[in-house]
Structures are given as structure tokens and as C-alpha cells.
Structure 1
Amino acid sequence: MRAAAPTARVDSRAKFTTRGWCFLAAAVLSLAAATWLGRKDVLALSLFLGMVPLLSSLAMWLVKPRVLLKRSVDPPLVTLGDAAQVALRVRRRPSPGARTSALASGSGSTTVPRAAVDVHETVDPLLGRDQDVSVPVSGAPVTYTVRPRRRGIHELGPATVRVSDPFGVVTELLDVAERTSLHVAPDPEELTEHGAATARETGRDPSRRAQPQPGPDNVTTREYRHGDPMRRVHWAASAKHDRLMVRQEDPRSTRRAVVVLDTVEQHWPGERVWAGTLASTEEFEWAVTATASVLEHLTRRETVVHALDDQGRALPRGDARAAQLRDTAVNDAVATEVVHGLSRAALVERPEPEAAHDPLARRLEQEGLVHPVLLLTGRLSAAAARRYVQATTVSASCAVVMVLSPPLVRPDSADVFESAGWSVVLVSRWTDVDAAWLAVTGGGSLLAPPPPKPGAPQLSMDDVMGRTRRRTTA
């Protein structure tokens, strides 16, 4: 699968090259010599040297060179840390009447580009450095590699194409303004098996539903993936396909859970960063990675996860279907699509909804989502915390992971959640995702301090918590 950018042709800006200026200077000197010496042959030479750059420039102005530049990215979606190959292709596309105009101007095929053109490619700094390459006009690709350093939607381009006449006396810049997008999905982290207790069964929780055992004719299988438990291997299907196959889902052990990713911009007050073209913060990036990790961890362990945002909409998937029309249930078959869709997760500024018209509460009620809830959010106000508490009153158990930005001070909203029976985990963007996952069932404060600057003394967790307590007391 490849994603190619459209092509464009804009008005050129013809300029003399160094060789062109040398031609003109030689023409002036030859004209002066012909006047002083009275030689007609030197005069003819001066006229030739002067007419070459002038006629070439006139031809470039009358007949615009039409150079097609195509950019493709393979693959168009990568996981954070993986590499993608960008291919540039250039073809000449002479306009109708170009040969007639060129012959009339007396300079031959002046507007036809040379065998290769110089291309300056603008690259997002989070992908790499700008590229200056020479691309053949035959259509043969020239490739370079990008390796993204942040999740999000990154843009490649625009590119500037430099073309010149066969004599190399006139050059022209063509700005190709179109951009190509590269989607970068978060890289899920491996989580400890103990954390699966988040989807535990309680007296009010129908997360484990008794379903009939599937018969041999309706078992759904897929290819084995790293991390799949061996007890799920379907040996008959493996022998048939000559590779390890596992059961897609065992209805007898299906659990259900709800994961909510808060995307309200006001709830993430940290320093703004850009995930490519998307607004984000370092804390929100931590939450996106944690969401991807939880989805992969639970779905691989026979848990159907209802992945929502703060508006009750399904988290984006790899396709472009409307989120409100998509099923929120995520199983092992579509977990990768949702992780890929998280490349488009971004902060959005929106007001707090009224309690009577809360879209999250409405979605939970409509779909009967009374299963355990895990909320990943930032620094909430007490009112915003009460909104989530009211929306999940029917849920069996609830936990919240609050990613705090400096100063690492316990917010009042944590007390609101705890008074409602929620498990509260306070983390910073330097906290290990797996450590936060293990603390979900019991709660706690894992506010890891920022790494020290070179030469600065190392702060311990006791120092950070002591400062936090002093600020709270004050």
C-alpha cells in the first residue's frame, strides 16, 4: 500500500546561472574587442554569446516547463521507531506547442529539462533532515529513509524542483506545494500479566458472559502472533495451513472492559508540543502510548475492550469511517487497527458537557457498558472529575490514571474520584507505563521526577514527594 502526493505546476522564476552570466560577460567583452579591433568575426561571436542566454530565457518564459514530481511513502503508516522509505519520481511533460515555440525562438528544445533535476525536499524535523537529491527525469525513483521520533501525522514536502536548459545558462525553480502525510502509530509497551485483574469479575459485572462453547465448524482462527498463549493454538488449523494458527476468540472466557482516553485540551495543561500536525503535550503522548499498551494487552487475553474518547465516541481506527457510527468493541482481530488509528489522536478544545446531555454517559447507557472502566486523563478540575463519576455510576468498578504535568502536586479531583470509590493512580510522563498498569487495581502515586540535567544532583522520589507535601500543606 502506498500513499502518493498529487502533482502540481506553478509559475516559474527563470534566472541566469553562473554560466549564463559568464556568457553575457563574454559577449560584452567580445563586443568591446570587436569595436576596438574592427573584426566582424569577433562581432558575430559576441552576438552568439549574448543571444544564447537571452533566447533561452525567452523560451523558458514563453513555454513553461512542466515537470511532474510524484512522492510516495512506503509504508504510509508505521509504528513509532520504525523506518519508512520515501520515493521521489520526476517526469518531463512538455506542453503542447513547446517544440514550435522553441524552434521559432531559434534555441531548439530549450525548455526540455536535462537528464536529471535537483530537488530540495522539506522534511519534518521529527522525521529527519531536509533532502537535496538529483532525480532522473526518466521516472526512475530516488529514495531516502525517514525514522519518526514522535507519534502523529507528519508531513513531507513541499519540494522545490530546479530545471535548466540544455546549455545550463538559465535555471528555473518549480515549487511543488503538495505534501504527503506519514501516519505514525504509538509503539505499545509490554505489560505485566498481573495487571489483567483490571477486568476482574464482580457481583454486578457481566464482563464474563456465559456463552456456548464453539463447535468445530464455527471456530475462527488467525495466524499466531508473538505473545499469544500456547493454549489458544488450534492444532488442526495449524496442520492445514502449515503454520501456527490460534483461535480468534474463546467465548467461554470473554471478558469486557471500557477504556476512555480524555482528549479535552483543557485537561492537559502541560507545555504544548506537536505530534506532526496534531496538537499534543508530552503527558498526552504518554496517555496515548498507555492506551495502546492496554488495548493490546487485554485483547490478547480474551478481553473485549470498548475503546472510547471523552465524548463517548469510538477511538479512531486505521480507516476513515465516522467514529460515532463505529462499533466501540475492540477484540484481538481489530486491536491493531485501533492502535494504528491512535496516530490521529489529538487534543481538542471543547466545553464541559452538561450533566443532562453528557455524550459519554449516553453511550455507556445505550450500549449497557457496566463493565470495569479505566480512564486516562490529565489534570482535571473537581467539576470535570464529578462529570466522569456521574457518567459511570452503573459501572462495576472504575480506575483513573491521571498524568500530571509539573508541578507534580496532587489535584483536588483525585479526592473526588477516591470518594466515589475509584482507584486513583497519579503518574508523570517519566513514569513507567507498566508500573502504572500494575498500580491500577490498588491506586497510588507514581510521580516519577524528571531526569536530572547533566551535572545536576539526582533527586529521589522521597525528595519529590516531600516537596509535594509541603506545597499541599502551604
Structure 2
Amino acid sequence: MREALHGFTLRGRSFVAAGLTAVLCGIVLGEHDLVRIGALVALLPVFAALWVARSGNRLGLARTLGASQVEVGQRAVVHLELTNVGPTTGVLLIEEQIPWALGSRPRFVIDGMRPGWTRSIHYQVQAEVRGKYDIGPLRVRASDPFGLLELQRTFTKTAGLVVIPATEPLPPIPLLGAWTGTGDNRPRPFASGGAADVTVRDYRVGDDLRRVHWRSTAKVGSLMVRREEQPWQSRCTVFIDNRARVHRGQGPHSSIERAVTAAASLAVHLSAQGFQVRLVSALGEEIEHGWHDGDVAASPRPLLERLAVLPTVPNHDLYTGWVDESVTAGMCVAVLGDVDDHDRDFLARLHHRGSASYALVLDVDTWAARTLQPDFVRRPGRLPTAAWLRQHGWKAADLGRDGSLQTAWQELGR
């Protein structure tokens, strides 16, 4: 009741003020009818508060998403199910709290609900910007039939929606980094392995004790068993340079967004081709679990979720700590922006580490020209990045603002 008395609307306060004024004037003028009318007007909001306070408005909410992960530009359907677990309610105005990137806040008016009644509502959201968003909480406004009182209730539960970059289908091309050429697994005999950490694994319940590798067990301190044969699968590192200084443009039409779209398309395509794919950015490893099995249909999911929230970083130099023999075996596909001399030295070393190196070089000049950024100037007399990479063993192709990713990818296969 105390909360209800603090929820008077402007109309309710006006009724109280007008009623008290009428009572005061009636007393001064000796008009008893005016006093009675004023008292009725002043007490009407109080009666409304009593009515709303007794109703309680005890509601239950269940929120489900048609899909927890959608691409940029796609729509996601949100289902709301309200259940009245208290006495009969009055008219309810519900408003869903959503980020501005998903559009305007959905609002609905629900008529009175009797005990046990359920109302189902659904609406759509669409995001043009990648990222992770929280949908909710739901805010409920309860009012009396005269609009004299308004109370708000807010649920605490929210639902997460991941908006991943839109991917483009890529045509198959011959790739030099595939161990088998088709992406199928091939058994490798135990004798071909050298390092213990490659040819043994942790003991699992049900393993034959005759396969225990006692030397490794003594060294590690836990049971280790031999891997009699190990699948040999193609691996690929997708490297994306997300430093702010190498990209141009702002918002959804910037070069970094084009780079993210290209990296996502490459990851999905290579995973479908049977590659184990991982993501590396200017800060190094981007997936905690390293390689992801290309035979699993959902393998690109964690990588795409990381790309959904990949920001630009202020670092001047690339982090190179992830580069060693164990992690660069296989193929490397780089999505690059502007490249300086220091970066070229790193890329030259990176090519010698892996078995095959491919690069998509974004022509950031096209983004700088349209966004009128005065801090970006051309360097005459310098060999273009794609041509320089080709001279140093890479297969490289340029990708402009209006260029086709499919065409650039096909050029890498020539």
C-alpha cells in the first residue's frame, strides 16, 4: 500500500489536489455539498491504490529465443509467456528492455488476467551490428482503470543473443596445406611419433591397462596410455589483424568489419572442407581450447562467437608469442589491413613456419578515400603488400571495398 501511494500519476495527484481544494473552499463558504464532492474526488485515487495493492499482480515469466545465434541482418524471434499466479489483474503494459542495436523496445498491452491464465507474446529483433546482447529484463506497468495510479515491476531474468558476422559461401579451391587433400583422417602408426606428448594421452576409464606408458606416467604423475594410431587431419590457422591503426572507416562499413566477415567466411568454409580451424588475432590465440575438430558440424561456433565480439585494439605491433613449430604446422590464412615494414618481417618469418600461406590483403585505400581520413597517406614507390607477399612465397590477393570475396578466394587457388 505504501508503494501504491507513491505511484500516483499526474492525473491522480491532480485529483487529490482538486479534491482537497474543493473541501477547503466548501468549508470556507459553508457549502456542505462541495465538501462532500471534494472528499470523494480526493479519496478516489486512494481507493484506486487500495484496489491495485489488493490485486498483487503476481506474474511468472518464461522467455525463449528461436535461435541463440543469428547472423548480422537476420531476425531472431523472442517468445514471452506470462502466467498469472495471483489474483485477477488489471490492464498491464509490458515493455521489454533490449539494446538500441536490436531496434526499438517492444511494448504490449495485456487485458486483465484471471488466476492461472497464460498469455503468449512473440516479437522479432534484428541487429545490423555484430556482438553479444542481453534481451530483457521485462518491465511490467500495472494501473487502475482510471489511470490514477501506476506501479512498475521488473523481472530479473534475461536471455543472451549472439549476432555473428554474416558469412559468404566460398568456392572450393586446391589448397596446399591439406595433409590428405580431401580432409579425411588417416591413421598414423605409433612408431612414427617422437614426442611423448604426441603419442600418449590421459588414461580414460575402460582403457586397457596393457597400453599404459609407464615412462610418461612417472614423468607426468598420472596414468598415460599409448595412442596406437592417431588421426592425421588438416589444420589451418586463420589470422586476422584487428589493430585499429591498420584499418580505415567507421561503423558497419569499415574495413575491420569487412575483415571480420572474410575471416568468418574462411573459417566456415575450411571447417566444412575437413580442416581443424583456429583463430588468431593481433593479440594472439583467440580460442582457449586451441584447434577445433573440423569433423564436428558445430566446430565453427566458438570461433564465430569470438569474431562476434572481436574489437579493434590499440596495439602498435603484432603479438608473435603464438608462433612456434607446434602451432604453425599446417596452413595459414591471413586477413590483413595496412602492412608496414615491421609487419612484413613477421609475415616473412611466419611463411617459413607453416606448410602453406595464403593472404587476403584489404585495400584500405578504398575505405580511406570514402571516409576522408586525412591521417592516411599513400607511400609512393613502395611495392604493394600483395605483390610483396607473393615474392616471399605467399599466395596473396587484394580485396577492395567493392571487391568480391569469392573472386579473391579463387585467385588464391591459381
Please give the TM-score of this superposition, normalised by the length of structure 2: 0.68
1:164 alignment counterpart: 143
Aligned mates of 1:440, 1:23 — CA distance in 2: 78
Aligned mates of 1:267, 1:400 — CA distance in 2: 19
2:331 alignment counterpart: 372
Q: Is the 8 A contact 2:185 2:233 kept in 1?
A: no
Q: Which residue of 295, 301, 304 maps to 2:275?
A: 304
Aligned mates of 1:19, 1:210 — CA distance in 2: 75
Percent pairwise identity:
16
2:186 alignment counterpart: 211
Aligned mates of 1:288, 1:50 — CA distance in 2: 63
For the aligned residue pairs, the C-alpha RMSD in angstroms reads 4.3
Q: 1:289 to 1:349 in 2, by over 3 A?
A: closer
Q: Is the 8 A contact 2:241 2:337 kept in 1?
A: no
Deviation at 1:375, TM superposition (A): 0.6
Aligned mates of 2:13, 2:410 — CA distance in 1: 71
Aligned mates of 1:419, 1:345 — CA distance in 2: 34
Q: 1:92 to 1:191 in 2, by over 3 A?
A: same
Q: Which residue of 151, 154, 157 maps to 2:133?
A: 154
Aligned mates of 2:241, 2:61 — CA distance in 1: 37
Please list the CA deviations of residues 219-272 of structure 1 after superposition, one character each: whole Å capped at 9, or x if unmatched: xxxxxxxxxxxxxxxxxxxxxxxxxxxxxxxxxx98725242325333543234
Q: 1:206 to 1:349 in 2, by over 3 A?
A: same
Q: Which residue of 27, 31, 44 maps to 1:38?
A: 31
Q: 1:399 to 1:163 in 2, by over 3 A?
A: same
Please list the CA deviations of residues 397-416 of structure 1 after superposition, one character each: whole Å capped at 9, or x if unmatched: 21211223323658865465
2:215 alignment counterpart: none
Q: Is the 8 A contact 2:130 2:309 kept in 1?
A: no
Count of matched residue pairs: 352
Q: 1:77 to 1:37 in 2, by over 3 A?
A: same
Q: Is the 8 A contact 1:90 1:135 kept in 2?
A: no
1:400 aligns to what SS in structure 2?
strand
Deviation at 1:206, TM superposition (A): 7.3
Given residue 339 of structure 2, which amino acid in structure 1 is its aligned partner? L
**Residue 28 in 1 paired to residue 3 in 2?**
no
Q: 1:431 to 1:166 in 2, by over 3 A?
A: same
1:85 aligns to what SS in structure 2?
strand
Deviation at 1:93, TM superposition (A): 8.0
Q: Is the 8 A contact 2:241 2:335 kept in 1?
A: no
2:193 alignment counterpart: none
Q: Which residue of 295, 298, 301 maps to 1:331?
A: 295
Aligned mates of 2:121, 2:185 — CA distance in 1: 57
Q: 1:119 to 1:43 in 2, by over 3 A?
A: same
Deviation at 1:64, TM superposition (A): 9.9
Given residue 128 of structure 1, which amino acid in structure 2 is its aligned partner? G
**Residue 261 in 1 paired to residue 261 in 2?**
no
Q: How does 1:41-190 map to 2 (within 5 A)?
A: 42-54=34-46, 71-90=63-82, 114-135=89-110, 139-157=118-136, 160-165=139-144, 168-174=147-153, 180-190=159-169
Given residue 198 of structure 1, which amino acid in structure 2 is its aligned partner? L
Given residue 162 of structure 1, which amino acid in structure 2 is its aligned partner? R
Unaligned runs of 5+ in 1: 1-9, 95-111, 214-252, 275-280, 316-322, 443-474
Aligned mates of 1:439, 1:260 — CA distance in 2: 18
Given residue 87 of structure 1, which amino acid in structure 2 is its aligned partner? H
Aligned mates of 1:26, 1:52 — CA distance in 2: 9
Q: Which residue of 347, 359, 374 maps to 2:311?
A: 347
Return 26-35 or 303-312, whichever deviates more: 26-35
Deviation at 1:427, TM superposition (A): 1.3
Q: How does 1:396-411 map to 2 (within 5 A)?
A: 396-405=355-364, 406-407=367-368
Given residue 377 of structure 1, which amino acid in structure 2 is its aligned partner? L
Aligned mates of 1:115, 1:57 — CA distance in 2: 12
2:38 aligns to what SS in structure 1?
helix
Q: 1:20 to 1:86 in 2, by over 3 A?
A: farther
**Residue 16 in 1 paired to residue 20 in 2?**
no
Q: 1:265 to 1:14 in 2, by over 3 A?
A: farther
Given residue 9 of structure 2, which amino acid in structure 1 is its aligned partner? F
Q: Is the 8 A contact 1:361 1:392 kept in 2?
A: no
Q: 1:200 to 1:141 in 2, by over 3 A?
A: same
Return 339-348 or 381-390, whichever deviates more: 339-348
Aligned mates of 1:399, 1:212 — CA distance in 2: 27
Q: Is the 8 A contact 1:12 1:172 kept in 2?
A: no
Q: 1:207 to 1:267 in 2, by over 3 A?
A: farther
Aligned mates of 1:342, 1:92 — CA distance in 2: 39
1:325 aligns to what SS in structure 2?
coil
Aligned mates of 1:210, 1:336 — CA distance in 2: 19
2:266 alignment counterpart: 294
Deviation at 1:159, TM superposition (A): 5.1
2:104 aligns to what SS in structure 1?
coil
Unaligned runs of 5+ in 2: 189-230, 370-377
Given residue 288 of structure 1, which amino acid in structure 2 is its aligned partner? V
Please list the CA deviations of residues 437-461 of structure 1 after superposition, one character each: whole Å capped at 9, or x if unmatched: 112235xxxxxxxxxxxxxxxxxxx
Given residue 305 of structure 1, which amino acid in structure 2 is its aligned partner? Q
Deviation at 1:88, TM superposition (A): 3.7
Q: Is the 8 A contact 2:96 2:107 kept in 1?
A: yes
1:383 alignment counterpart: 342
2:108 aligns to what SS in structure 1?
strand
1:48 aligns to what SS in structure 2?
helix
Given residue 426 of structure 1, which amino acid in structure 2 is its aligned partner? D
Aligned mates of 1:75, 1:437 — CA distance in 2: 30
Aligned mates of 1:198, 1:346 — CA distance in 2: 27
Aligned mates of 1:270, 1:169 — CA distance in 2: 55
Deviation at 1:346, TM superposition (A): 0.7
